[in-house]
Structure 1
């Protein structure tokens, strides 16, 4: 293994998030002490920092960020960490390096040291002093007569032997995998599971005791951690929580894998009643790092109960409902509910394809929220995927993720979403799901994939695709709205540069946002996918109704690439031919579908009990109702 790991840490000015892998960032400090960060063609003012400007003019510094955030260090690897920069320290400047343990906030005294000039190397002898798990390394630039500037970066410290020693640049080789067989058929009910013959089943009850063996309902354990401690790594063991009860505390850090995709470690429910609720009390429900595979969960409700307070400390608690940072395969979630975390579901691979085969079926993912101040909580999403291959989300409900109007500071922003899928994932499909009231986007599918038969309601921007071949087909999009009074929006479907994309048979109706330039359907250009100079898009048989714009009768905009359009109707007019279509009832909506309208429809979807499924409260059923209203009542008439 190479002795110096070329993972680079920004050390001088501030932390910048959301940076593409290996992207070059220019940090510019003006004489007015305003810091700007340039990423490609965009420049954003980040903050004001007193005392850092060079009196003789601009001070410039170029930094290559780590490929991964968090970064990873394997103990006993004898690897140094090299801080690389194209720039200079101010006269007399030095960098103080410190580390803290994330879950306790305790410092690691043996790590602390100062570096001055030279190669700015964090010697392996210091890295080896870090404890296993999550730590944060901070770098403080100290200069005589000037304010300190602090940057920090999260790290995972791994056990020896975790990282592939034969890999120089990519830790894990992955040749594209074929999708795993989907174990369910939409609309056909829940999948039933049986334990393997050699599985041990551990029962957990709120009235149990961790001194019990947990091997029968008569001798249940009390906590998730106690049950986890008894699981055998590489086995097909089960943990079952008693239905209808409330439990304190999640599993903590999870490092065990199941025997196989067919015989995974299983977390589920026993007895009659609704989902057992796990109050995480400021921690995570299920958090794994390193190599973990073959995990299945069904019927569990994980709730970040302490984050509903208003103090900054409370908002910082419970970042993840389910979180895997590392590699692994075969994860299946059915009929679960995750709510109130900063990220309800987050899977982040070491490198492209290092996490494979994620299935999420009939789950409820709602009320993830962060805070506008990064020092408090920062960005959030209901789902976040990075470097994940072969992911399916089917018949799920994603509601009000990225914000919470009942919590001060957890307001809607353009950085928070219902679903945020990074560009370095692959083969991600979202089908027949309800996606409502996201802080900004309903679904950012940055890697491309299939968005089929979903219902999007009151997201500021419903969905977009880019990069890989994509299909946006048979969706209904209603009332795309504003983020807030300043960030006005109202976007339906966007296709950024892709190899090819199909946009067909969608209904996009009743725009609520105030941005007159926001379209119902558009192709657009974005600099972060410039490696695809042209792209092919077919847009046909879509209905756009009452989606006003500053440009009359132009809610479908195509500006880039090779775009084919035909048989799209805008307010009852076929845009390509000028022919008129009269619909059966284009005013159809929730009020005519269910007593109580949208609020009642959403209440039933979010509060659905374990094991129950009302086909009328589903994306498929409501979309069929909308499509019936937009059925032509008479044949296409003459041209205008």
Structure 2
């Protein structure tokens, strides 16, 4: 039938035969995949990954989501990196389609722990301490404050430091730790405004007795009509303050920090109750300038016979004051004449006297202690004072002079430029003027840890024998002399001292350059001293005197005369005081070093210019 119809159509002019369909049938499209969710996913460290999946469809086959094959799962969320999740599907005709999702596992960030309040806290003894706690947060876990753990405790009944440790862990095991130091301190002292009552390393600390009378004196705020019993009602003058002190009582006279008076302490006649409850003259208030007593041409303080003065003045402390002989200082606008006044001039007996942290400038002697009347002077301690620029024109002059005493300690003082004046007529250096002169009629004297420079002649003379230890002496014609006693004590020791830059009193027969000298007959131990870098060219110079009666151990002598220039194995024997000053932040000059040393006080202490640090600098240079 087909053939007949085809023949008829052709014969009738029906045209060409139709083109047969393609061999494989009509063209089909591939399936499509649609991701559910984002194609790029960021995953927190340790967070479980839940894949959002995908859907698939095909024109011919319809919904073929269940035909999707997924690869790349599970995601290892504890290993940071980039991961691919692959989705693939095929339709019934074998056509394939794929899609992918990128999953980024972040690095884990540790938690952040923050203390509420400071890392260091103080709490007053016997009060209530409430821990201010801490907060914590984590980029992955959010707020972790509730999970902060605290270890340690604070005992508010016991003074001291306590540590509290705060710790928090995040879900990945990362940890943050912080520590707080809580210091339990004593209740604030009602005397905190008085520097000597506050602990300061290296300085004496004293407290008033329960029945001490405190007398406040202020030149700028005071009035002699006031009662003087509080900082708010101080008297004005030193003389008025003295009258309010009770002899034999542990009373204190307090001079305002930074104030100046046109008077010294004058004649002193009053004692304290005992060495444990002394009478005290010291400073009060804030600032770094000692109260200044401008004594003109007179003594800063005088204890001597006459005028009803008792034979002994006992149990007295003089601390934290500035004594200035402005009337005999040629550089002062108040200069009038060069008298023979002293900063402290003590001629009466005593059983306890402490002179500490005072500044003495421009006197004939900064301090003189002499038992002129044979009334027994003992228990004298002179420490941490600055004694400078003593001079005279018609008498011998010393930084300190001590005679006829028993038991004197001279420690940690600063002596500079004593016994001479650089320009005033008649005040030139002589061989009779020294920084420390201890007469031969004393007993049991110890001189230790002092800084002594630019003396007229001797840095120190300890004639009766005794102990000279751990001092630093620089630019003195004769640094140390031991011996020539007037009494029976002849033993002595010179140990651990550093002597530098021995110079001359003057030209010609005034040349010296003597380091450590001592008498022929004294039984002396000379040990662990450093004597180096002489300045004098004197033919008689020497570093350490040699006598058969002396014992010598472990001393270093370097560049002090012939035969002493071998550097051996010293690490750095050429060190200088100028180098030290530069290292400590000074100008790198001798004058700068001296200025910084002179500025030392309890109110303004610089540990870089302590004698311990200075000595160690030079000892390190010699490998000591």
CA contact (8 A) 2:464 2:482 kept: yes
Task: Pick one of 400, 417, 422 that aligns with 1:383.
Answer: 400
Q: Choose from 578, 594, 610 the match for 1:591.
A: 578
Name 1:262's counterpart in structure 2.
Answer: 276
Given that 1:395 and 1:432 are in contact with CA atoms closer than 8 Å, whether structure 2 keeps it comes out as yes
Q: CA deviation at 1:302?
A: 0.6
What are structure 1's unaligned runs of at least 5 residues? Answer: 1-182, 525-534, 554-569, 574-580, 633-640
TM-score, length-scaled by structure 2: 0.62
Whole-Å Cα distance in 1 between the matches of residues 291 and 331 of structure 2? 26
Matching residue of 2:313: 292
2:436 paired with 1:419? yes
> Match for 2:554 among 538, 541, 548?
541
How far is 1:517 from its partner?
Answer: 1.1
The structure 2 residue matched to 1:600, chosen from 580, 586, 592, is 592
Q: Tell me, what secondary structure is at the counterpart of 2:347?
A: strand
- Corresponding residue for residue 302 of structure 1: 323
Residue pair 1:395, 1:434 contacting (<8 A) in 2 also: yes
Per-residue deviation, residues 316-354 of structure 1 (Å, max 9, x unmatched)? 336111011121121112211111111110000137781
Output the CA distance in 1 between the equivalents of 2:257 and 2:340: 23
Correspondence 1:407 to 2:402: no
Does 2:238 match 1:224?
yes
Paired position in structure 1 for 2:202: 189
Cα deviation code 1:429-468 (max 9, x no counterpart): 1111100001110001111111111110111100111143
Question: Does 1:330 find its partner at 2:382?
Answer: no
SS of alignment partner, residue 327 of structure 1: coil
- Tell me the SS of whatever aligns to 1:269: strand
CA distance in 1, matches of 2:375, 2:267: 22
RMSD: 2.4
Measured in 2, the distance between the counterparts of 1:541 and 1:351 equals: 44
| Conservation of the 8 A alpha-carbon contact between 1:455 and 1:475 | yes
8 Å contact from structure 1 (residues 454, 620) kept in 2: no
Give yes or no for contact 1:367–1:402 (8 Å, CA) kept in 2.
yes
DSSP 3-state at the match of 2:617: helix
Query: In structure 2, the residue corresponding to 1:328 is in which secondary structure?
Result: coil
Q: Which residue of 2 aligns with 1:64?
A: none
Matched with 1:247 is 261
**Map of 1:612 onto structure 2:** 604
**Contact 1:469 / 1:501 at 8 angstroms: preserved in 2?**
yes
- For residues 497 and 332 of structure 1, what CA distance do their matches in structure 2 show? 34
Gaps of 5+ in 2: 1-195, 305-310, 583-587
Query: SS at the partner of 1:226?
Result: helix
Show the counterpart of 2:114. none
Aligned equivalents of 1:271, 1:494: Cα separation in 2 = 45
Q: Does 1:456 align with 2:456?
A: no
CA deviations over 1:462-496 (Å, ceiling 9, x no partner)? 01111431111111101111111231111100111
* d(CA) in 2 for partners of 1:264, 1:400: 33
Kept in 2: contact 1:440–1:483 (CA 8 A): yes
Aligned to 1:443: 460
State how 1:22-33 maps to structure 2 within 5 Å.
Answer: none
Distance 1:253 1:347 in 2: 15
Alignment of 1:50-449 (within 5 A): 188-207=201-220, 208-273=222-287, 274-289=289-304, 290-309=311-330, 314-317=336-339, 319-350=341-372, 354-371=376-393, 374=394, 378-449=395-466
Instruction: Return the alpha-carbon distance in structure 2 between the equivalents of residues 434 and 401 of structure 1.
Output: 12
Contact 1:473 1:504 (C-alpha < 8 Å) held by counterparts: yes
More displaced, 590-599 or 393-402? 590-599
Corresponding position: 1:496 with 2:519? yes
Shift, 1:614, TM fit:
2.1
Instruction: State the alpha-carbon separation in 2 of the partners of residues 187 and 236 from structure 1.
Output: 22
Aligned partner of 2:532 in structure 1 is 509
Q: Distance in 1 between matches of 2:232 and 2:340?
A: 32
Larger mean CA deviation between 289-298 and 428-437 belongs to: 289-298
TM score, norm. by length of structure 1: 0.61
> Following the alignment from structure 2 to structure 1, what is the Cα–Cα distance between the partners of residues 263 and 433?
27
Question: 2 CA distance for matches of 1:454 and 1:474?
Answer: 7
Instruction: Give me the whole-angstrom Cα distance separating, in 2, the residues matched to 1:609 and 1:324.
Output: 23
Check the 8 A contact 1:275/1:299 in 2, yes or no: yes
Q: Is the 8 A contact 1:368 1:380 kept in 2?
A: yes
2:565 maps to 1:571: yes
Contact (CA 8 Å) 2:571, 2:620: kept in 1 or not?
yes
The alpha-carbon deviation at position 514 of structure 1 amounts to: 2.6
**Mean Cα deviation higher: 493-502 or 193-202:** 493-502
Task: For residue 368 of structure 1, report the CA deviation from its aligned partner.
Answer: 0.9
Structure 1 contact 315–370 (Cα < 8 Å) conserved: no
User: Retained in 1: the 8 A contact 2:461–2:481?
Assistant: yes
Residue in structure 2 matched with residue 68 of structure 1 by the alignment? none
CA contact (8 A) 1:492 1:508 kept: yes
2:500 aligns to what?
A: 478
Equivalent position SS for 1:197: coil
Once the two structures are superposed, residues 232-275 of structure 1 have per-residue CA deviations (whole angstroms, 9 ceiling, x without a partner) of: 11111100000011111012211211111111110011100120
Per the alignment, do residues 629 and 244 of structure 1 end up closer, same or farther by CA in structure 2, a change over 3 Å counting?
A: same
Is this contact kept in 1: 2:320–2:602, CA < 8 A? yes
Q: CA deviation at 1:392?
A: 1.2
User: CA 1:340–1:270 in structure 2 vs 1: closer, same or farther (change >3 Å)?
Assistant: same
Q: Secondary structure at the match of 1:628?
A: helix
